[in-house]
Amino acid sequence: MTLQRQIYFWLGSFIAFVAFVYLFSPILLPFVAGMALAYLLDPVADRLEAMGLPRLGATLIILVSFVLIFLLVLLLMLPLLGNQLSGFLKALPGLVNSLQSLVSDNLGERVFSLFGMGGEDLKSNVGSLLGEGAGWVASFAKSIWNGGQALLSVISLFVVTPVVAFYLLLDWDHMVERIDSWLPRPYQATIRRLAGEMDRAVAGFVRGQVSVCILLGTYYAIGLVAVGLNFGLLIGIGAGLVSFIPYVGATLGLVVSLGVALVQFWPDWPMVVAVLVVFATGQFLEGNILQPKLVGSNVGLHPVWLMFALFAFGYLFGFVGMLIAVPASAMIGVLARFALSQYLHSRLYAGAPGQAGAAEYPDALGDGQTGMAGETRNG
């Protein structure tokens, strides 16, 4: 009965949490953003505190510096990016038509011989494909916007978020101690170990991936601007920011920049190849230098699982869901590995004594069993 009550309690708590996020997702954005900001900056506050600064002073220095740097970057980049975005949206129909004509005029004969289509059929199909792709991107962006539209305002993000981050960062260590005091005594050691693994997974990915996104966005922007690509700054920064989804950011940036390059530079092939070289070099840097150094190999998040989590949480909870998808998927991954470990060390997997094959797994039987309570006693 005790185990059954515990299962009901934690299952009910989980359902209540999901219901809370679902019901209040339209107003959670500044609070989630403030919590994420406090989590990211807590190691810096701990380091300043170790150097002799009081927690209040360290928190004030960190947040004031962060807000000033953010506003400076925003004031310098926002007008330029806004102009490029406005110009890109205005030029998008012309770019699509030019790319459609370019593809049909230069690849038409080969496609005719393969599929037996006429020129008008080809133009119609290419135009339909490009139109559907643009429509899907527009609808996806609209759904994300609508999911957080109520709170994508200057007041909520630029006033509420810093206030929430300030109080959370100031009381972070006290909150952790208070939550630790609420843990069930029999399972305290196991929960602490799992929480530590979750923290390492989330911190390793989020803090490392933020650095990777910033560095890649800077590299792509500089490279595309140096090549002379129209809207290169906008495309490069956008590709870098979307790089938190593995392979999607680079692929999306490559497709958009290649389409713009074909329309802009055709038939100057070296310039089109230069755009490809920018993204190929960026992928090499990301896979061989940035990811191993900044993110590491012990995060435990498979790219496919991460992409599914982002789409699933975004679909369920809108823009707020996309913000919590990475830490939530990392935590679920830790719990899933723990559950699998418990299963592999249980009689359910190895069988009871006397069953065929049970002797092959002696660690799963008798004194070697490592259930949750057993881990706590041994620990």
- Say which DSSP state 302 is in: -
Across the range 91-97, mean pLDDT stands at: 74
Residues 104 and 221 in one domain: no
Output the six-digit token pair for 151: 């709170």
Structural domain includes residue 8:
no
* Closest CA relative to residue 326, chosen from 210, 247, 195: 210
Residues 203 and 169 in one domain: no
d(CA 272, CA 170): 51
* Closest CA relative to residue 350, chosen from 337, 369, 331: 369
Q: In this predicted model, what pLDDT tens digit does every residue of 273-313 receive, in sequence order?
A: 888 898 888 888 887 887 777 766 555 667 777 778 878 88
Residues 96 and 211 in one domain: no
26 has a pLDDT exceeding 50: yes
Distances (CA, A) of 191 to 186, 272, 333, 343, 378: 10, 54, 15, 17, 14
Structural domain includes residue 211:
yes
Find the Cα–Cα–Cα–Cα dihedral 316, 317, 321, 325, rounded to 10°.
-30
pTM of the complete model: 0.64
Domain end (from 182, 217, 238) = 182
Residues 50 and 68 in one domain: yes
* Closest CA relative to residue 330, chosen from 355, 350, 302: 302
- Confirm if 206 and 40 have CB atoms less than 8 A apart: yes
Range in 36-45, 264-273, 337-346, 349-358 with the lowest mean pLDDT: 349-358
27 has a pLDDT exceeding 60: yes
At residue 145, the pLDDT reads: 47
Domain that holds residue 85: 29-182
Residues 334 and 276 in one domain: yes
Structural domain includes residue 326:
yes
Query: Please, which pLDDT band fits residue 116 given cuts at 50, 70 and 90?
Result: low
Residues 203 and 336 in one domain: yes
Longest dimension (CA), the chain: 77
Across the range 155-180, mean pLDDT stands at: 83
Residues 269 and 240 in one domain: yes
Q: In this predicted model, what pLDDT tens digit does every residue of 184-222 receive, in sequence order?
A: 888 888 888 888 888 887 877 777 778 888 888 889 989
Residues 217 and 316 in one domain: yes
354 has a pLDDT exceeding 80: no
Structural domain includes residue 163:
yes
319 has a pLDDT exceeding 70: no
At residue 174, the pLDDT reads: 87
Alpha-carbon Rg for the chain in angstroms: 26
Residues 45 and 152 in one domain: yes
Classify 118 as helix, strand or coil. coil
* Closest CA relative to residue 209, chosen from 96, 329, 102: 329
Query: Please, which pLDDT band fits residue 96 given cuts at 50, 70 and 90?
Result: confident
- Say which DSSP state 353 is in: T
Residues 152 and 265 in one domain: no
Structural domain includes residue 94:
yes
Query: Please, which pLDDT band fits residue 364 given cuts at 50, 70 and 90?
Result: very low
Structural domain includes residue 352:
no
At residue 379, the pLDDT reads: 37
359 has a pLDDT exceeding 50: no
Residues recorded for the chain? 379
Query: Please, which pLDDT band fits residue 346 given cuts at 50, 70 and 90?
Result: confident
Domain end (from 165, 182, 199) = 182
Residues 155 and 226 in one domain: no
Specify the number of domains making up the chain: 2
d(CA 307, CA 243): 11
Structural domain includes residue 361:
no
Structural domain includes residue 350:
no
34 has a pLDDT exceeding 80: yes
Amino acid at 210: V
Domain end (from 182, 198, 228) = 182
Residues 178 and 229 in one domain: no
d(CA 225, CA 232): 5
* Burial tier of 73 (Cβ tally within 10 Å: 0-12, 13-18, 19+): exposed
Across the range 81-88, mean pLDDT stands at: 75
Across the range 365-378, mean pLDDT stands at: 41
Question: What share of the chain in percent tops pLDDT 90?
Answer: 1
Please state, rounded to an integer, the average pLDDT across all residues of the chain. Answer: 75
